[in-house]
Structure 1
């Protein structure tokens, strides 16, 4: 009878120790072919569109920084924010690729990568986006957003190598 409680305690302790993990103290390597800076120069038929955005991504190990330049022929709000139909938003965070889908999750931030306080102009808080990766070469890649029908054709402007940093 004495062995049963000890065995149960050992089993529960083993299950708890296997289910809990500390967060890593270093960045992980991320996806090798994405490392570097990728620029979207234009989109097809942009002159016919009322609104569109152009993206600039920086991937470093398992982290990303994205700059989204948006353009609008209509006035979406106060001109102090939307600068006559052209404005920028920024986000940073972590990413991972599962099968053919790239998952980005982070926070909206300022251009200098500092945290963006809620309120004011544009979006704040959590940034979350998924892209299905289409055709790719060493210097060109296509991201198909799951939230839009307009694909992003990105060209590599600067290749880099992951050097993990402490977190």
Structure 2
């Protein structure tokens, strides 16, 4: 079970392939605020709702200085299909070996329909310009989460 991040922690560095197979690193975003969200699987109802909500709010978030990166254990090909099918504008990264998910505390035991299972914990980590964790939110709901982030950040 991986440790959950706390505000003030250094956000774990990562380099992962995007939907087109291009490498994207957290370090590429140094000097900008980044909302990194972790979701279980592309092309599923809740994850689609969440990704569409982020896409719909991207201009507002970008205007407030935030970039958005979504990370799941899916392979780049599935992310590409997800992006194209749903007209997503957020950066989607593939973490099939779940190393980044684990380093962010977004993979481990969770409750699903009353049973304890191991899997992706829907989470959002907001990283500041210096690469430190500003907020770490775990077990978030797919629906309404983006609106809550916008409200909490005062955007």
- TM exceeds 0.5? no
The structure whose residues are more often strand, as a share, is 1
Q: Provide the TM-score with structure 2 as the length reference.
A: 0.29
The structure whose residues are more often helix, as a share, is 2
Q: Provide the TM-score with structure 1 as the length reference.
A: 0.27
CA radius of gyration, larger in = 1
